[in-house]
């Protein structure tokens, strides 16, 4: 089921270091201070208060393959034998706190729904008679 509010939904911020009481020293102002909402507008689309570095380096796809010698293949009655392994989405090097920096929209919103991109592994065997 799709979220009816989409990217505009307010997420829980309880785990963030926010100012809550007078005298608190915190990284962020209190986002739910609706008495000052008109002046600080904490959830407006063009603000950068919650923005973070989304740069990344990704090891996305790797394939390893081995072709057996023709003599080995012929010894078991085949013309050729090839074994291959492949993997996708192996690792993303990033300081981004979300599941995948590739899922951030051009407006800076995380569109992953909280789900990481799955890793995929394949193994294959090609034989030629």
125 assigned to some structural domain: yes
* Same domain, residue pair 89 and 41: no
* Same domain, residue pair 55 and 29: no
* Same domain, residue pair 22 and 68: no
123 assigned to some structural domain: yes
- Total-model pTM: 0.60
6 assigned to some structural domain: no
41 assigned to some structural domain: yes
Give SS3 for 7: helix
42 assigned to some structural domain: yes
Residue ending a domain, choose from 5, 30, 46: 46
Q: Residue 32 sits in which domain range?
A: 17-46
Under 8 Å between Cβ of 86 and 122: yes
* Same domain, residue pair 56 and 99: yes
* Same domain, residue pair 78 and 124: yes
Under 8 Å between Cβ of 99 and 112: yes
Domain count, the chain: 2
pLDDT of residue 4: 53
Q: Which residues contact 27 (CB under 8 A, 6 or more apart)?
A: 16, 17, 18
Read off the pLDDT of residues 62-111 as tens digits, 9 standing for 90 and up. Answer: 999 999 999 999 999 999 999 999 999 999 999 988 888 888 887 777 88
* Same domain, residue pair 29 and 65: no
Say whether pLDDT at 6 is over 60: no
């Amino acid at each position: 089921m799709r979220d009816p509010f989409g990217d505009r939904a307010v997420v829980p911020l309880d785990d963030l270091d926010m100012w809550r009481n007078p005298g608190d020293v915190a990284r962020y102002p209190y986002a739910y201070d609706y008495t000052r909402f008109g002046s600080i507008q904490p959830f407006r689309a063009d603000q950068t208060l919650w923005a973070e570095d989304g740069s990344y380096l990704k090891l996305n796809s790797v394939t390893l393959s081995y072709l057996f010698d023709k003599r080995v293949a012929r010894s078991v009655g085949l013309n050729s034998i090839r074994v291959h392994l492949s993997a996708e989405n192996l690792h993303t090097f990033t300081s981004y706190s979300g599941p995948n920096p590739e899922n951030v929209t051009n407006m800076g919103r995380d569109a992953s729904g909280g789900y990481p991109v799955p890793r995929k592994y394949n193994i294959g065997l090609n034989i030629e008679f």
